[in-house]
Structure 1
């Protein structure tokens, strides 16, 4: 770019997305003189979902601000917990985040999930239509203008991914109330009601069941319950 030069500083969170030479301290950046600060920040590599307050010479500005020569810009990290006014807190996870999607559902959090790659435009459109926070590790996806809201998931480990989302948004937890397969709500079900969907050992060994009101999947405290209970207990202890 051949326009005015500004001085920009990225907080540690947003700095993860910029080239190494811009990660520490204030660096000079030449703009075209007409692009907004939001565009400049994204051009530097930071999705706006990961940029918190934008400061120009110490005063907050909107992403629509057009930087002028000599301005000192500070890009702060998103404040945690992050509040999103205007809609119930619901999530949409992309195809690569199946495990955190199931764990969010285990905790009773409304978490839609695309098990197939339907493409970035369709995901962004669904986020807007259903007013869901899109969770992804795809920076390009999080830069799409159609998004209602989005957030980058920083870790590639499911345990840390779950903690990242819970710590950032602090959703209300209501464990054991959602289907981990389809996100539908669960209700208690009598043994006779679900007997035709149970194998012999399950029929004889368990008495308490729940059934999904959307897909009719049946749940009981089976072999993996102890592991699931540990996930729930840890999340409730830290974020409940």
Structure 2
């Protein structure tokens, strides 16, 4: 009978909810094939590669390609926060289930691509790679696709929780009121005369300060919903100014 090597593995607390219930209590034993990479082993246990930080074997950091051997003691740590993305400030791509989060990121001036029509996992992964965007999703299977350049599992069920998670993890630069929440285009100041034909009568009579999207030409003004949006912006800016969590950094 073929002997299969056995290792012990321990996931950081932030990663345990990805794994099967029996893996959530701490260090557990696992039989491996002796040839698969540590990355493959970790993914096979339910943890997307986008969430994995440092990998330690017997106390020493190893690359994801390392094949675990019999008796190895493996520690899987979470991605350190804030996470730096190669190529400058992060640009995001959100899946179809994160529309509210996309609009809130745009409200804060963060580049957040989103399509309300679901293009499918393959198309999302391909766009993420082609446009060098960080793919945000709560779909673990999507985040395991190999072509994804960078991605993140968004934690939280409510939009405000999700927004704080993204701000905490990536620390993007904020520039509120500079992006169109409808299409992600840039906003510019617009003279009232240049947009008057796009306004309803009540808006023409009441407001004098406008902005317009340079891409879709949608017009914005400080209407009835401004107070609610301003509260979202103020809360996010205040939160972004706090020291970020350091998950996975130790």
TM interval, shorter chain, is: over 0.9
For residues 178-211 of structure 1, give each alpha carbon's deviation from its aligned partner in whole angstroms, at most 9, with x where no partner exists: 0000000000000000000000000000000000
Indicate if the aligned counterparts of 1:13 and 1:50 stay in contact, CA closer than 8 A: no
Kindly state the Cα deviation for residue 2 of structure 1 after the two structures are TM-superposed: 6.1
- Answering whether residue 88 of structure 2 is matched by residue 66 of structure 1, we say no
Give distance in 1, aligned partners of 2:120 and 2:3: 35
Residues 81-100 of structure 1: pairs in structure 2 closer than 5 A? 81-100=82-101
1:161 maps to which residue? 162
Q: Secondary structure at the match of 2:156?
A: coil
What residue is the counterpart of 1:185 in the other structure?
186
3-state secondary structure, aligned to 2:162: helix
Report which stretch shifted further, 80-89 or 159-168.
80-89
| Matched residue SS, 1:52 | strand
**Unmatched segments (≥5 aa) in structure 2:** 242-250
Q: CA deviation at 1:24?
A: 1.6
Structure-1 separation of matches of 2:150 and 2:137 = 11
Q: How far apart in 2 are the matches of 1:2 and 1:14?
A: 30
Deviation at 1:84, TM superposition (A): 1.4
Per-residue deviation, 1:213: 0.3
Q: Provide the aligned C-alpha RMSD in A.
A: 1.1
SS in 1 for 2:228: helix
In structure 2, C-alpha distance between the alignment counterparts of 1:121 and 1:179, rounded to whole Å: 27
Q: Say whether the 8 Å CA contact 1:102–1:181 is kept in structure 2.
A: yes
How far apart, in 1, do the equivalents of 2:147 and 2:26 lie?
33
Show the counterpart of 2:136. Answer: 135
2:121 matched residue in structure 1: 120
Bigger relative CO (Cα 8 Å, ≥ 6 apart): 2
TM-score w.r.t. length of structure 1: 0.98
Matched, 1:213 2:214: yes
Which aligned runs of 4 or more in structure 1 are off by greater than 3 angstroms? none
Distance between the aligned counterparts of 1:15 and 1:51, measured in 2? 11
The answer to whether the Cα contact below 8 Å between 1:190 and 1:208 also exists between their aligned partners in 2 is yes
Q: Using the alignment, how far apart are the partners of 1:16 and 1:62 within structure 2?
A: 23
TM-score by length of 2: 0.94
In structure 1, runs of 5+ residues without a counterpart are none
Q: What SS does the aligned partner of 1:183 have?
A: coil
